[in-house]
Amino acid sequence: MHARGFRPIAKADARVLVLGTLPGTMSLAMSQYYAQPRNAFWPIMGALFGALPALAYRKRLKLLTKNRVALWDVCHSAYREGALDASIDAKSIVPNDFATFFRSHRHIQLVCFNGQTARKLYRRLVLPGLPAQVQQVPQLTLPSTSPAHAAMRFEQKLEQWGIVRRAFEA
């Protein structure tokens, strides 16, 4: 299946950019980031920012942007059978336009990856084409919130994801 990702969720004052790989089947069907109910992303964002899964999707997004968190994916489009990142055909990946994104979002001070695949793809397909100043923005790989990453308990994931909130608390 040829999958096409979503537009970024971000305001111009965003400080943290959270990057996934490519929306899964359920997310694409619902036109929502992390729509798979067993994905820990929204429960984690609920614990950090009050963006609980029970809230309407638009309210969750508003809470993220209010807290200067931007949300996007590395891949603009790719061919993938199923929902797992491991099923993405690497040769079919078209990355998102990060050069334009960073020109419009100059306050990004931390890029967080939702899992290893997002990090690997960003570093291979995106980072080399970015201006030197943007290449210097700190990057942090966080544990995947996917239900496929069951080796880590929710509490452990939440502890590590806490950096998204703590990074800019005064």
Residue ranges covered by each domain of the chain: 2-164
Q: What digits encode the pLDDT tens for the residues 47-103?
A: 999 999 999 999 999 999 999 999 999 999 988 876 666 667 778 899 999 999 999
The domain made up of 2-164 is a member of CATH 3.40.470.10: yes
Q: What digits encode the pLDDT tens for the residues 103-160?
A: 999 999 999 999 999 999 999 999 999 999 999 999 999 999 998 767 889 999 999 9
pTM here is 0.94
Q: Which residues are catalytic?
A: 39
61/9 Cα distance (integer angstroms) = 7
